[in-house]
Amino acid sequence: MIMRYALLFLVLHAWLFGSAQEVRMVNGRKHLVHTVEAGQTLYAIARVHAVPVDALLTANPAANEGLRIGQQLLVPMDAVVRKEARSAPTMLVEGELKHVAARKETLFGIAKRYQVDVNELMRRNPSITDGLREGMEVIIPVGKVTGVSAPVLRPADQSATVDHLVQPGETLFALGKRYGVKPEEIQAANGGLPEGLRAGIVVRIPRQEAGLPLPAAKDSTVVRERYHVAFLLPFSLARNDSSLAATELATSGPQFYGPTRIAAQFYAGAQLALDSLAKQGLNAEVTVLDMGDDQRAWTSVLKNPKLENVDLFIGPFHRSAIEQLARGNSNSHIVCPVPQTNKVLLGNTNVSKVAPARSDLVKHAARYVALRHASDNVIMVRPEIPSDKEIQEQMLGTINAALADRAGRYRDSVLVVKAGRRDIGELISKLDKTRLNVIVAPSEDVEFVTTLVSKLKPLAEKNRIVVIGMESWLNMDPVASSDLDVLGFLFAAGSFADPTDPRLVEFTRVYRERFKTDVDEYALLGFDVTYYYLRALLTQGASFTQHFDLVRTEPLHMGFRMGRTGPENGFRNEHGIMLQQKDLQLVKAP
């Protein structure tokens, strides 16, 4: 009976998290597979699944060395503590826990249960100062837990290892040869493997180069020794004679033709990626051709015999050129690295588009709202503006679908308030002084956005408010950055270069030293796109589009979550990054 209850609890818990979780049989025991996310700790994971920390460590000896983002933990289902399972908390963003108060439960009792000082609970949950009631949600600040060892409370991070699911018959010697590391290094990275290498467990493999994961192809026979890669970029070199002559007369120095500068920066970043991949074993023939920036130029380029038997094209930048290339190279994969409409993917199964579409970013922001703010007062302001209708419907539908899977939600669906360009309707009357008010405003209309910001700003002094909007707000002249600061402005973006990231700092140093110029967004784009797709070739072979889920890199300014748009269409990047306006600058949102 206990086993049945434990299984039922874990299955329901997985459903509440909004995603199916794998169950794996190891040595005759059933284990739930938990994928570690940023900020999560052994303590929090054990609490959520109602199992002792020691049980987790026994099933996952590598966890003794700390958790990593993306790591798969085996949760033994027969170790579930029935009493704890009945009221287990749920996991929040960055590893905090959410506990729902039971009947007659006290704040002191909750503090004792989670080993947190009651004052810390009250600081994290200001709404409970007036008393605890049944059904109230209490956020447990895991970082404030006492009486627990440091490793158990250490948040997951990125580290210099990669996961490998052990297959029947595999040995440490075979794994070492496959990944190019010593067997004893694998053993040391996994707590010594006291129970040996067992089929079904996940072990850490030390990477050959820090910061660069090394997943292996599902079918290693598809990986070849040499690949042919072509860069088709709009250098437009012929345009620069007249451009340079004109700018030298009008300025103190030469200024290259716009597309030339963009292509040069992109390829400079790509060269650094190629250098890094060569050190990891990539053997590639690289062809670079100038596509120009009009159809007369690229039509002749696409007939160049150098483009025969190309495995991967990076570029062109123009939609018509991509479609023309795709028709004649159905066995090659083509990457569109710059923003384009999703129409470029229609009917072109061998094309990828890496810049997320506006609709994908709107949906990303919607899912963030449901994940982070389900228990808050979420209000969507919907002005009657025809040009905003599409993104309004995308935002509303995605939030409501995501809220349906969230436990402890304040409402089953988002509260919608109608408005106009110069008024915000009944929004003010819907603000709640006892909760965080999350104002969702999917609009790119300057007049409406200006009205919304100006009318919400004075209300932020007496109400807790954050506003979810669009990236385009940053470029609206009437909207001041200082006002967005006050409103905790958040939006979804396709990329973000964090100036404090040590990797970016090092990349900038190397780039300047080699190319004698500053890094811009196209240099970062060239590096990230080239590294991701050539890494896919290196580890997954020419059929890498079937294994996008195995291609893991740590990009400098963007992420990759590639998904097929439809069975007859190509792949688009659905990855987004939530950014927040804070202290007159942008930072990654919590």
DSSP output for 125-176: -GGGTT---TT-EEEE-GGG--SS-HHHHPPPB--SEEEEEPPTT--HHHHH
pLDDT digits (tens, 9 = 90+) for 128-138: 867 788 888 89
Is residue 444 over pLDDT 60?
yes
Q: 359-493 in CATH: which number?
A: 3.40.50.2300
What per-residue confidence (pLDDT) applies to 486?
92
pLDDT digits (tens, 9 = 90+) for 544-577: 888 887 887 888 999 898 888 888 899 999 888 9
Q: What is the mean pLDDT of residues 140-146?
A: 89
> Distance between CA 259 and CA 244 in Å, rounded?
13
Q: Which run of H or of E encompasses 176?
A: helix 172-179
232-350+501-557 CATH choice from 3.40.50.720, 3.40.50.2300, 3.20.20.70, 3.40.190.10: 3.40.50.2300
Q: How confident is the model at residue 65 (pLDDT cuts 50, 70, 90)?
A: low
The CB density around residue 218, as the number of other CB atoms within 10 Å, is: 13
Query: Which sequence spans correspond to the domains of the chain?
Result: 2-159, 232-350+501-557, 359-493
- What percent of the chain lies above the pLDDT cut of 70? 88
What per-residue confidence (pLDDT) applies to 99?
93
What per-residue confidence (pLDDT) applies to 63?
78
pLDDT digits (tens, 9 = 90+) for 361-371: 999 999 889 88
Q: How confident is the model at residue 21 (pLDDT cuts 50, 70, 90)?
A: low
Q: How confident is the model at residue 296 (pLDDT cuts 50, 70, 90)?
A: confident
What per-residue confidence (pLDDT) applies to 114?
92
For tokens 């004698």, name the residue: 516
Residue type, 419: A
pLDDT digits (tens, 9 = 90+) for 348-399: 999 999 999 999 999 999 988 988 898 899 999 999 999 999 999 999 999 9
Of 152-166, 307-321, 350-364, 575-589, the poorest mean pLDDT is in 152-166
> Distance between CA 454 and CA 161 in Å, rounded?
49
List, in order, residues 6 or more apart from 590 with CB less than 8 Å away. 93, 94, 372, 580
Of 91-105, 301-315, 470-484, 513-527, the poorest mean pLDDT is in 91-105
Task: Judge contact between 487 and 582, C-beta under 8 A.
Answer: no
- Phi/psi for 124 (5° steps) reads -80, -20
> Distance between CA 65 and CA 353 in Å, rounded?
38
Of the candidates 399, 367, 368, the one whose C-alpha atom is nearest the C-alpha of residue 381 is: 399
Question: 296 or 323: which carries more pLDDT confidence?
Answer: 323
Question: The tokens of 447 are what?
Answer: 């007049």
The mean pLDDT value of the chain amounts to 83
What per-residue confidence (pLDDT) applies to 207?
63
Q: What share of the chain is helix, strand, coil (3-state, %, to 5)?
A: 45, 20, 40
Question: 255 or 393: which carries more pLDDT confidence?
Answer: 393
What per-residue confidence (pLDDT) applies to 568?
86
Domains 232-350+501-557 and 359-493 equal at CATH topology level: yes
pLDDT digits (tens, 9 = 90+) for 72-89: 888 988 888 888 888 899
Q: How confident is the model at residue 261 (pLDDT cuts 50, 70, 90)?
A: confident
Q: How confident is the model at residue 160 (pLDDT cuts 50, 70, 90)?
A: low
How far from the centroid of its chain's Cα atoms is residue 130's Cα? 38
- Phi/psi for 312 (5° steps) reads -140, 125
> Distance between CA 529 and CA 545 in Å, rounded?
14
What per-residue confidence (pLDDT) applies to 61?
74
Residue 495: strand, helix, or coil: strand
Is residue 488 over pLDDT 90?
yes
Is residue 243 over pLDDT 90?
no
Is residue 320 over pLDDT 50?
yes
Q: What is the DSSP letter of 355?
A: S
- What percent of the chain lies above the pLDDT cut of 90? 36
> Distance between CA 329 and CA 137 in Å, rounded?
56
Question: 170 or 551: which carries more pLDDT confidence?
Answer: 551
Count, residues in the chain? 590
Is residue 120 over pLDDT 50?
yes
Strand 571-573 and strand 562-564: pairing?
antiparallel
Q: How confident is the model at residue 232 (pLDDT cuts 50, 70, 90)?
A: very high
